[in-house]
Structure 1
């Protein structure tokens, strides 16, 4: 099964080797037919620590690295 890849913005780099990425998705409401924006935060593994707040990055699913990390940064 292929691994999911998401694109989002780095919102925090406070922890070592970890970045928090906010991924926004847009969809049309089924009844109101209005575009709705929803966002979700993912904690991703960043080995080198080369990303800063505001960077746009792509994250990929991986095996669990810790209690909360199931994603890793693959590109900017």
Structure 2
């Protein structure tokens, strides 16, 4: 089974070795068909505390590390 990968923008880095990544996706409304932007926030493991707010990152799904943390930082795409 392949692990899911996605990219998003870091919205918080206040926790130790953890970042919060906002991932936006565009989906059509079920009834009206209008394109809507949905945002999901994921807690990701940042082992070296290298990310800052506004950075674009790529994350990958992993086994649960804590109550909310189920993603791992793969790479820092762009630095703010």
Give the TM-score of the pair, scaled to structure 2. Answer: 0.90
State the 4+ residue runs in structure 1 displaced beyond 3 angstroms: none
Supply the distance in 2 between the matched residues of 1:63 and 1:71 (Cα, whole angstroms).
8
Deviation per CA, 1:52-76, whole angstroms, max 9, x where unpaired? 0000001101111111101000012
Report deviation, 1:30: 3.2
Q: CA deviation at 1:13?
A: 0.3
Q: Distance in 1 between matches of 2:67 and 2:29?
A: 33
* Runs of 5+ unmatched residues, structure 2: none
Query: How far did residue 29 of structure 1 move?
Result: 1.8
TM superposition score normalised by structure 1: 0.95
Please, which runs of 5 or more residues in structure 1 have no aligned partner?
A: none
